[in-house]
């Protein structure tokens, strides 16, 4: 048998070494963890972006509808204005209220006020003679007291949405929660001294027993929602409107945003949502002042 040439032997050895090195690299790379995903609840260059984003993995959260789909409640009443409304259900996590408790539909706007979008929302609500509920962030209320006064003057109800949209607020000490909620209510009443603040909405829907208890101790109803188009993800006006219109039934509480980022899609969606809900009685949640 003819002996292999030195060149052939060297070539085969090189192929073997190359294959072994490649396998070693792949094995080593597989042992290196992927870098963590970028956080979603961030402060951008233009300022803080508040939105009811999913909280941190360890923060409790009540279930909500998936983006682009109607919630489970939509099939119960057939989606008609004459459907039997759900009662004021304390079936959110830790007993947060998820419906209006009557046949009325409640539009709620979170994270404002914002000088770019809140006036547009108010103008459209005025045009369609609809009153809504505004869940305001304390530092925004302090920065824009004129908009708090405009909201109240037009008959909308006000809801406490924490001082700085702290998704983790419910895991803080009772004293810290109390101070945060009181500071926010004080900012609202600095603009409207006789404002009735009957509701509290936890940022991110990250309810805990202690934040629910503190809101109730301070005379506020913990308020969740029924229909969530995830407008904070800026899916576009068409998708926002379609999700709301398909999902609303008698008694729904709709989650929308007038601040916390680019909310022009939400404003534009209202041009479709408000006339489409004409068959329902759309009203602000009662503020307890009557």
**Which positions are annotated as active-site residues?**
110, 257
Rounded Cα distance, 158 and 136, in Å: 7
């Amino acid at each position: 048998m003819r002996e292999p040439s030195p060149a052939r032997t060297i070539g085969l050895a090189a192929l073997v070494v190359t294959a072994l090195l490649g396998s070693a690299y792949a094995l080593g790379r597989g042992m290196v963890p992927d870098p963590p995903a970028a956080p979603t609840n961030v402060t951008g260059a233009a300022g803080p972006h508040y939105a009811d984003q999913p909280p941190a993995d360890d923060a409790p959260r009540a279930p909500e509808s998936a983006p682009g789909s109607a919630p489970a409640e939509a099939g119960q009443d057939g989606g008609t204005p004459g459907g039997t409304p759900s009662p004021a259900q304390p079936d959110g996590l830790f007993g947060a209220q998820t419906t209006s408790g009557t046949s009325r539909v409640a539009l709620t706007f979170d994270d404002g006020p914002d000088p770019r979008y809140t006036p547009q929302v108010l103008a459209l609500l005025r045009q369609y003679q609809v009153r809504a509920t505004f869940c305001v962030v304390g530092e925004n209320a302090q920065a824009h007291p004129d908009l708090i006064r405009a909201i109240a003057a037009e008959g909308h109800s006000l809801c406490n949405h924490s001082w700085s949209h702290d998704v983790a607020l419910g895991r803080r000490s009772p004293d810290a929660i109390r101070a945060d909620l009181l500071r926010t209510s004080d900012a609202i009443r600095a603009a409207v001294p006789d404002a009735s603040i009957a509701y509290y909405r936890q940022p991110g829907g990250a309810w805990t027993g202690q934040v629910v208890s503190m809101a109730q101790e301070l005379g506020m109803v913990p308020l969740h929602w029924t229909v969530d188009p995830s407008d904070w993800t800026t899916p576009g006006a068409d998708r926002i409107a379609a999700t709301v219109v398909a999902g609303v039934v008698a008694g729904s509480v709709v989650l929308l945003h007038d601040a916390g980022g680019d909310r022009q899609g939400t404003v534009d969606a209202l041009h479709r949502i408000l006339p489409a809900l004409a068959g329902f009685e759309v009203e602000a949640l009662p503020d307890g002042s009557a």
